[in-house]
Structure 1
Amino acid sequence: MTTSMNPTDRAAVHGDRPAIVMAETGARLTYRQLESSSNRIAHLFRRLGLEPGDHIAIVTENCLDVFPVLWAAQRTGLLYTPVNWHLSDAEAAYVVENCGARVVVHSAELDRLGDAVATASPAVEVRFTTGPSSPSGARVLADEVASLPDTPVEDELEGYYMLYSSGTTGRPKGILPALTGAPFGTGLPIDATMRDAFGFGEDTVYLSPGPLYHAAPLGWTMGTVRNGGTAIVMETFDAERALAAIDRHGVTHAQFVPTMFVRMLKLPGEVRRRYDVSSLRVVVHAAAPCPVEVKERIIDWFGPKILEFYAGSEGNGFFMITTGEWLEHRGSVGRPSLGTVHICDEAGNELGPGEVGTIWIEGGLDFEYHGDPSKTAEAYDERGWSTLGDLGHVDEDGYLYLSARRSDLILSGGVNIYPVEIEDVLTMHPAVLDVAVVGLPDEEMGQRVHAVVTVVDGVEAEDALAAELVDYTRARLAHFKAPRSIEFGEVPRLPSGKILRRALLARYEAAATS
């Protein structure tokens, strides 16, 4: 047994144990293969003149080939940005250009997008494909590294992923981490948190169902390897396939976002009972507020194994709550394990328990938005406290409850309405698969509550159902919070589970203009 955070040491001990397994295909990388492949690519990066602090961009779907590239960047002190490949060409090119990437690595599947972002970014010097060939002329990574050593480079240092915000409220912002210059093997803060707070170790089998260009799927998958476990990576999330993977691989730790919980709960009972989930020891969830009833039903199903955390990619604070704590503080995201929480009004005055205001963190980790000093300045106050722009309150025991992002608030008739409160209610209606609530312009009230609803298979989306959903909401919330209009259709979500309200509002604005 080794407690080292250095994959080289892990490979020496574990050898042919799988480090990464793809859930659908069963393709796998052993610790020895990951070590050898990432070392070869690390030597290539050095031969290209990449030095600690330089930047690369990675454009791949969830696939096995991305992991040696990630680890090569991590062990050579680079900043690396996995690019959201669901973005348009222009949006993805903005990320690659903004981060200053000198090298782009892309999969065979995303050859066209890789070519487009590299061509549009003047700083990019060379482009590689992880595939066997490239129609657009990228250099083949396997050919480039074939003759290079599979031993570590001499100057190994810890790198860091530089992620971009989801872009739910505007253009994505690059979150620039501080490189410590620590020797490779020191590990990142999340690696130790996973070990100490979530029980990750050599016997861990971790299910990662989300896209690797997001913080948790990326960081926790790599952290699983740091701690000597095996990561089962889903190519894309599917509710039944997630349960099948838990059953097939004996998953001990899994991480979901609330929409994934909802999709699994909406499976027919006979489908859910088909799969044995008793191997689960810890079920982690984050990324968005979870409706209380959804979490209650997940606890009933999986048992008291649910650990929730609240944090941003910025890393300025970290909140956690166990199942036992949550049952005594239903709806809370926990108390801070990093930083001190303050709830303030718009003038910066601290509010008391139960009063909703902006969430500020004191004493957390510093961060900055890459190339955007004004956005960075907006995230801090004169006391040095930082905020992600979320609203919430604390109770008498110091447990935090989220309300909304300030930009999501609906102001109707002078009253603040929180969309997530309405979404939580509608989500539990048996006909509703997904829902998003936004505020649309209203001459009388300023804004009116509008819901976009995706119905479950086999349900007819019709006026009678819309009326039923309004009545359902009114029976559970104040009448002024009930939707005044309901539209049936697809809810635009990021693969992380976050609702893309900006896209919804832009659609309505375009319709109003036309």
Structure 2
Amino acid sequence: CFEGYFAPPAIGAVFVPLNFRLAIGELIECLDDCTPRLLICEPAFYSQALALLEACASVSCVFVTGSALDFDNAKRHGVEINGVIQSLPDEMRSLEASIAEIIAGASFADMQPSSFEETLILFYTGGTTGRSKGVMLSNKNFLCNTSGSVPLYKMQDGWCFLIVGPLFHIAAGARIFSCAVLGGHAIILPKFDVPEVLESIANYRINSATLVPTMFQMLIDNPLFATADLSSMQMVASGAAPMPMALQHRVIEAFAGINLYQTYGMTEAAPIVTSLDSQYHVVSGPGSEKLGSVGRPAPHVQLRIIDEQGTDLPPGETGEVLARGDNIMTGYWNLPEQTAVALKDGWYHTGDAGYIDADGFLFLEGRVKDMIVSGGENIYPIEIENVLSSHPAVHQCAVIGVPHETWGEAVHAVILLDDAVSEAPTERELITYCRERIATYKCPVSVSFRSEPMPLSPINKILKTELRKPFWEGRSSALV
């Protein structure tokens, strides 16, 4: 994975880490958008790789990681996909064997590194218009974020980092650069598993980790945590999703003696915007009043709060959060109109609502956009609504985030069925319908059916605030 982040820009290419959890149709959309020439995959993803090779005209070669011997066997005997043996085409090659051939022949590529302003990595993030957007991040963006984050989190030379987030996410990707500049080590786990995480921390003497709130909760709730050796840990950061206050209190107690940070960021900011320093992770006493915030802007970031007319608001007044800095993306790939909406005069419009207090701390109040954050994953309702609307029995639908004890929010669909439908679909049937068309993590976990039309605004937009009220009654729907 380090090769993926460092090798392409060394020859002036662009690296595009793909979300393997996406459905084939969604992956094809991404590849049709960025038109890559080369695809790299693990043997576990032969099925997806073959489908992409066939569907995407730009892909001329697929390198398969892992043992060259295993690949040779697969090439000779074929691979089983959905119960059928399929042969591997000539366009598929062993990455290990290819590298060995290059070294043996000394046929190295010409080094023509990307320039400071050129796109280094393209991260695809969910789109509010129903399609993924390619976020263009440059050398300048990552240098700015890395240079700012190392002192911000008091990282030290030679640290050992635990990376448990998927490498198609900006948080994990950005940590790779921090590790590299510090001459450190990275222990990269294929998935989050509590016993494996705790064992890795003890065995490899991990110094730092970045986790989402769900991971913190799973760690603390596991009986193994009580006897775990965390003596090497010096810093743990939380990000990707808001952490409920009750969980923050538990984390502060459970990770006593370890520097804790709460981070607010996004792919478009490469990713850090603000951070709540460890000194404010206290339940009572001086500084505890800041625990509900996401901290102050990182040194390389400027913040503004504006109203709907674009006027700057004074401290304490809620509006949309805007960020500016050398870490902010250059734009969305092939989407000039959406880029123009998101970036105005160098300011990135986050779509989040919040206020800055008199001390410069940012408090998030909610989302201007309807994005759902579930277990650290950003989910855009329009993607699910587009699928549900295609069902012949659905007349009207709205997708909202509802409270979930483990994931923070869960995807819930509100459905108004067509009067003409002869046989109404069940909740399970609609969920299955979605799972056949989009990534499972985006699909509703629950569905409710309405007998009356959706509540509408004067301009006929569905009032999702009204739909959310029954679920959030007595709870806080704020980001933090």
- In the superposition, the TM-score normalised over structure 2's length comes to 0.69
Q: 2:253 aligns with which of 300, 306, 309?
A: 300
Alpha-carbon shift at residue 221 of structure 1 (Å):
2.6
Q: Residues 208 and 511 (structure 1 numbering): CA distance in 2 closer, same or farther, change over 3 Å?
A: farther
Structure 2 residue aligned with 1:221: 176
Counterpart for residue 361 of structure 1: 323
1:345 matches 2:330: no
Residues 341, 361 of structure 1: 8 Å contact kept: yes
Distance 1:114 1:434, change over 3 A: same
Aligned partner (choices 146, 158, 161) of residue 191 of structure 1: 146
Query: How far does residue 399 in structure 1 lie from its aligned partner after superposition?
Result: 0.7
Residue 205 (structure 1) aligned with residue 160 (structure 2) = yes
Match of 1:94 in 2: 29
Q: Is structure 2 residue 174 aligned with structure 1 residue 234?
A: no
CA distance in 1, matches of 2:357, 2:410: 27
**Unpaired segments of 5 or more residues in structure 1?**
1-65, 411-418, 443-488, 494-498
Look up the SS of the partner of 2:443 in the other structure. helix
1:283 equivalent among 209, 232, 236: 236
* Whole-angstrom CA distance in 2 between matches of 1:178 and 1:389: 22
Structure 2 contact 273–323 (Cα < 8 Å) conserved: no
Is 1:143 aligned to residue 143 of structure 2?
Answer: no
Q: 1:3-402 to 2 correspondence within 5 Å?
A: 66-131=1-66, 132=68, 133=71, 134=75, 135=78, 136-137=88-89, 138-149=92-103, 153-158=109-114, 160-167=120-127, 170-178=130-138, 188-268=143-223, 271-303=224-256, 304-315=258-269, 318-327=273-282, 328=287, 329-337=290-298, 338-363=300-325, 365-381=328-344, 383-402=345-364
| Offset, 1:166 | 3.8
Contact 1:191 1:227 in 2 (8 A): no
Residue by residue over 1:358-379, the C-alpha shift from the partner in whole angstroms, topping out at 9 and shown as x without a partner, is 1112455352000011111111
1:89 is displaced (CA, Å) by 0.5
The one-letter code of the counterpart of 1:346 is E
Change (3 A) 1:512 1:265: farther
Deviations 1:106-130 (A, max 9, x none): 1111111112123222222222212
8 A Cα contact 2:136 2:329, kept in partner: no
Structure 1 pair 70/118, CA: closer, same or farther in 2 (3 Å)? farther
- Separation in structure 2 between the aligned mates of residue 93 and residue 511 of structure 1, nearest angstrom: 38
> How far apart are the structure 1 equivalents of 2:340 and 2:445?
27
Matched length:
373
Return structure 1 stretches of 4+ with deviation > 4 angstroms: 150-154, 432-435, 437-442, 505-513
**1:434 Cα offset (Å):** 5.9
- Quickly say closer, same or farther: Cα 1:178–1:126, change in 2 above 3 A: same
Alignment check: 8 A CA contact 1:359 1:387 kept: yes
**Structure 1 counterpart of 2:124, one-letter code:** Y
**Amino acid corresponding to residue 336 of structure 1 in structure 2:** P
C-alpha change, 1:240 and 1:166, in structure 2 (3 Å) is farther
> Compared with structure 1, are the counterparts of its residues 94 and 218 closer, same or farther at alpha carbon in structure 2 (3 Å cutoff)?
same
Structure 2: which amino acid aligns with 1:146?
A
Deviation per residue, 1:151-197 (Å, 9 max, x gap): 875525257221111457732110112356x9xxxx83343334332
Match of 2:388 in 1: none
CA shift, 1:214, in A, is 0.7
Q: Secondary structure at the match of 1:245?
A: helix
Task: Give the alignment's Cα RMSD to 1 decimal.
Answer: 3.6
Q: Pick from 389, 410, 417: which aligns with 1:436? A: 410
Residues 119/336 of structure 1: CA separation in 2 closer, same or farther (3 Å cut)? same
- In structure 2, how many angstroms separate the alpha carbons of the residues matched to 1:168 and 1:216? 21
What is the distance in 1 between the residues matched to 2:261 and 2:415? Answer: 39
Unaligned runs of at least 5 residues, structure 2: 79-87, 373-399, 417-430, 454-480
- Structure 2 CA distance for partners of 1:511 and 1:200, relative to 1, 3 Å: farther
Supply the distance in 1 between the matched residues of 2:121 and 2:412 (Cα, whole angstroms): 33
**Cα offsets for 1:463-487 (capped at 9, x unmatched):** xxxxxxxxxxxxxxxxxxxxxxxxx
Report the alpha carbon displacement of residue 294 of structure 1 after superposing the two structures with TM: 1.3
Q: Structure 1 residues 402 and 239, CA, compared in 2 at 3 Å: closer, same or farther? A: farther
Is 1:315–1:367's contact at 8 Å kept on the other side of the alignment? no
State how far apart, in whole Å, the 1-side matches of 2:332 and 2:41 are.
25
- Contact 1:326-1:334 within 8 A present in 2 as well: no
Aligned CA distance change for structure 1 residues 433 and 198 (closer, same or farther; 3 Å):
closer
Q: Percent identity?
A: 26
In 2: Cα distance, 1:433 partner to 1:175 partner: 25
Secondary structure in 2 aligned to 1:193?
helix
- AA in 1 matched with 2:15: Y
The letter for the 2-side match of 1:80 is F
Distance 1:262 1:169 in 2: 33
Q: Give 1:330's aligned amino acid.
A: L
* Alignment partners' CA distance in 1, 2:371 and 2:330: 26
| Aligned amino acid, residue 91 of structure 1 | E
SS of alignment partner, residue 102 of structure 2: coil
Q: Structure 1 residue 503 and structure 2 residue 443: aligned?
A: yes
Over residues 279-327 of structure 1, what are the superposed CA-to-partner deviations in whole Å (9 max), with x where a residue is unaligned?
A: 1101012111111221222121112511222221112762122121354
1:213 shift after superposition: 0.9
2:266 partner SS: coil
Deviation at 1:404, TM superposition (A): 3.0
Equivalent runs, 1:398-417 vs 2, <5 Å: 398-408=360-370
Distance 1:363 1:435 in 2: 30
1:352 deviation in Å?
Answer: 3.2
Question: Given the superposition, is the C-alpha separation of residues 153 and 226 from structure 1 closer, same or farther in structure 2, using an over 3 Å criterion?
Answer: farther
Aligned-partner Cα distance in 1 for 2:58–2:452:
40
Q: Aligned pair in 2 of structure 1 residues 321, 81: CA closer, same or farther (>3 Å)? A: same
Higher relative contact order (CA 8 A, sep 6+): 2
